Amino acid sequence: MSSHDPKFKLVVAFDFGTTYSGYAFSFRDFPLHIKTNCGWSDGADGLVTMKAPTCLLMTPEDEFHSFGYEAENKYSSLAAEDKHRGWLLFRRFKMLLHNTEHLNRKTTVTDINGVSRPAIKIFTMAIRYLKHHFITNVFQQPEIGTFLSERDIKYVLTVPAIWSSNSKHFMREAAVEAGLEDRQLKLCLEPEAASIWCLSITKSIGNVEHFTGVPFMVIDLGGGTADIYVNEKKDDHTFKELYKAGGGPWGGKAVDENFVKWLMGLLGETVMNKFKEEHMCEYFDMLRNFEMAKRSFSADTTGLVSFKLSKILLQLFDENSDSDLRTIISESNLDGFVEFKDDHISVDSSIVATWFLEPISQMIEYVKTILARPDLSKVENILVVGGFSESKFVHDELNEKLKDKTITIPQDPGLAVVRGAVRFGQLPTIVSSRVVKAVPNFKLQ
């Protein structure tokens, strides 16, 4: 087994996700006792999650204000009082690094209203917040603050393996500007972290020795992307990469976008835009409720599926539409497939399934092209992690379309990457070899 890095007393990993972000840490002397933040609360409905929404709010003076649920709630309250003009709310901006080939200091990211700011500034603010949140929480504990200084911390920042070298270097520079010392910082590929964690805990995947000496695939299904990777666990418990990670924008965010797009087609673009712009709090609540509801939807679900909406949304429809819902449903041939009652909409499961099928089908087809390679013909086991892997529909589709493979989803799959990144920081040589692409000499200009 690889030896621990003796220079640091604590390793903290930041999982900077498209939809949610969080961190985990452990001490050198208790490496498997990995702690995560005790929970991020939405402050309204009692929803507590192990990660916070990747959402950043800036003041009209272009200063950082808040992150996560606090940022969403503050902007919502400002919007409710029509005081949000000039405030900037950035959501799910990590996807910029998936789509942008030529990054520089002039590259911008837009907020929810289309206002642009330098991407390096927004990423730096977000990482600085996560670091500050961690330091504040850990160092306020007297038994820790007395023997630990920031020099004793190794920082690990997770990045998708499918990103370009430029995007990975961009994240490193943003992290350094955020106050993470370069000598204390390591980047960890998300699917590598997932495989490290999964194969570190035998009870999550059965007989871990079945993975030794044979290739296995990791599918990291996050909010924005699917990251797919093939490696092998060697006899010395290190990992050898067999296939350079690939993937695409097939995460859970695509399902949310399909849901909103479908609502827009039914209620009208004007209504949905007014709802989003003028009633931001209710709009976020709708998406949060949909996030929870979509996890329980499966391929076996039949009949109507109910989602909580907002009465304000229906009021906006009444005020801005020349027709009524009953007529629109009838003219759209949706009689019996869609029903509205109070603050709920019930949609036939066949329609809901289409919101999932587009990204999942594309991901599965990509997986099949990898598995069809002659050099990967021995891949029998597939580990699936990431927040989107908690969806029952994802489970069902993978098991149905990849029947000849053993699909394994560990406990708390949404935390597998951040926990594995902590292990990676503790054991710097745990990945013994990778398939390497040429890396350019990169520096932001």
pLDDT per residue of the chain (445 residues) written in tens, 0 to 9: 444 556 788 999 998 888 889 999 998 888 888 888 766 776 655 556 778 889 999 999 999 999 998 998 898 888 878 888 899 999 888 877 766 666 777 888 899 888 999 999 999 999 999 999 998 887 776 666 567 788 889 999 998 877 778 888 888 999 999 999 999 999 988 878 887 887 776 544 544 455 667 788 989 898 888 888 888 877 666 677 787 778 888 988 899 999 999 999 999 999 999 898 888 778 888 888 888 788 889 989 999 999 888 888 988 988 988 888 888 888 888 988 998 887 788 999 999 999 999 999 999 999 999 999 998 888 998 989 988 998 999 999 999 999 999 998 888 888 888 999 999 898 876 654 444 444 444 445 5
Q: Are 212 and 255 in contact (CB under 8 A)?
A: no
pLDDT of residue 259: 94
pLDDT of residue 439: 40
pLDDT of residue 432: 47
pLDDT of residue 84: 87
Cα–Cα distance measured from residue 149 to residue 385, given in angstroms and rounded to the nearest whole number: 33
pLDDT of residue 99: 61
pLDDT of residue 6: 60
Encoded tokens for 85: 């003009």
What radius of gyration, in Å, describes the C-alpha atoms of the chain? Answer: 23
Cα–Cα distance measured from residue 192 to residue 239, given in angstroms and rounded to the nearest whole number: 9
The domain ranges of the chain are 209-250+356-410, 252-354
Q: Are 107 and 169 in contact (CB under 8 A)?
A: no
pLDDT of residue 1: 42
- CATH class, domain 209-250+356-410, is alpha beta
In terms of Cα–Cα distance, which of 133, 122, 9 is closest to 57? 122
**What are the pLDDT digits (tens) for 308-353?**
888 889 889 889 888 888 888 888 889 889 988 877 889 999 999 9
pLDDT of residue 350: 95
Overall residue count recorded for the chain in this entry = 445
Cβ neighbours of residue 30 closer than 8 Å, sequence gap 6 or more:
none
Cβ neighbours of residue 84 closer than 8 Å, sequence gap 6 or more:
75, 78, 280
Rounded to two decimals, what is the model's pTM?
0.80
